[in-house]
């Protein structure tokens, strides 16, 4: 046994006659095992020496494969302890299109889970009223949720405790959809409910900032206080340019990255 992935490594046969470089074969094998849930977030990989001896390849070849995996965000090193598996960041296109989070994640090959933290009717403060173009103290529905995502092919018994990839709070003018409080948002998606009620979002204005997690957010997202987060505010408009939703979404930096596609 050479480490947490000894059984998988023992089954690996590198093709030394292939035109594909050995470091790339090893790199792709480890990536496939991570995606399949065969090796999990937090698992320790064998050392360079152990991999080199087990696979009968040079240490520089192993080092190149591991360095590439570090650069791509699949593994990380702790000096004096070893090399560990890190779940790759989820590539978010949230800044580029209007779509349900659940639908977007499903397209990327992830299964989702939602935990509702709050579903209340409150009075709008100055920020919420300005964003939704309503009067201060007007009623709004507040929906706060934790969102989770894991690869479709990841086995349940191979997973450690889920870590959220997003906490989001959305505010909706109560007068536009008072029935919003009647929905189970651990079953329905927010945009799905808007569509059912003929209140589809047609235009969105979003702003993104880099911030540091305070204690409350750190506890919710299971990260350290002061860790980097992506903070995104969003205002969604109906076809007649009336705001229907204002949201604040917080993504832990270690689990997400954003891609913005621009055409000319």
Q: What is the domain partition of the chain in residue ranges?
A: 6-85, 90-258
Q: Which of 250, 179, 175, 245 is nearest to 219 (CA)?
A: 250
Query: What is the model's pTM?
Result: 0.67
Question: What's the pLDDT score for residue 62?
Answer: 92
Interval 56-63 mean pLDDT: 92
For the domain bounded by 6-85, which CATH number is listed? 1.10.10.10
Q: Which residue has the higher pLDDT, 157 or 264?
A: 264
pLDDT tens track for 171-215: 999 999 999 999 999 999 999 999 999 999 999 998 989 999 999
Question: What's the pLDDT score for residue 216?
Answer: 95
Q: Which residue has the higher pLDDT, 71 or 108?
A: 71
Q: Does domain 90-258 have CATH number 3.40.50.2020?
A: no
pLDDT tier at 80 (50, 70, 90 boundaries)?
confident
- Most confident range (mean pLDDT) of 73-77, 145-149, 167-171 is 167-171
């Amino acid at each position: 046994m050479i480490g947490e992935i000894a059984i998988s490594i023992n089954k690996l046969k590198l093709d030394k006659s292939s035109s594909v470089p050995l470091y790339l074969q090893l790199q792709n094998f480890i990536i496939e095992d991570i995606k399949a849930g065969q090796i999990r977030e937090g698992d320790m990989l064998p050392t360079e020496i152990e991999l080199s001896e087990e696979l009968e390849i040079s240490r520089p070849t192993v080092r190149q494969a591991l360095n590439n995996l570090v650069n791509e965000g699949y593994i990380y090193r702790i000096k004096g302890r070893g090399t560990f598996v890190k779940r790759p960041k989820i590539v978010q296109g949230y800044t580029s299109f209007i779509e349900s989070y659940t639908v977007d994640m499903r397209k990327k090959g992830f299964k989702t889970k939602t935990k509702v933290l709050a579903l209340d009717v409150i009075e709008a403060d100055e920020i919420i009223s300005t964003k939704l173009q309503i009067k201060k103290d007007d009623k709004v529905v507040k929906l706060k949720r934790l969102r989770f995502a894991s690869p479709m092919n990841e086995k349940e018994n191979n997973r450690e405790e889920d870590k959220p990839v997003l906490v989001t709070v959305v505010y909706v003018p109560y007068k536009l959809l008072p029935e919003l409080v009647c929905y189970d948002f651990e079953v329905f998606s927010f945009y799905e409910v808007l569509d059912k009620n003929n209140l589809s979002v047609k235009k969105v204005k979003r702003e993104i900032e880099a911030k540091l997690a305070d204690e409350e957010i750190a506890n919710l997202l299971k990260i350290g206080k002061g860790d980097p987060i992506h903070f995104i505010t969003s205002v969604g408009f109906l076809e007649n340019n009336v705001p229907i939703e204002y949201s604040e979404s917080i993504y832990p930096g270690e689990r997400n990255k954003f891609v913005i596609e621009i055409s000319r």
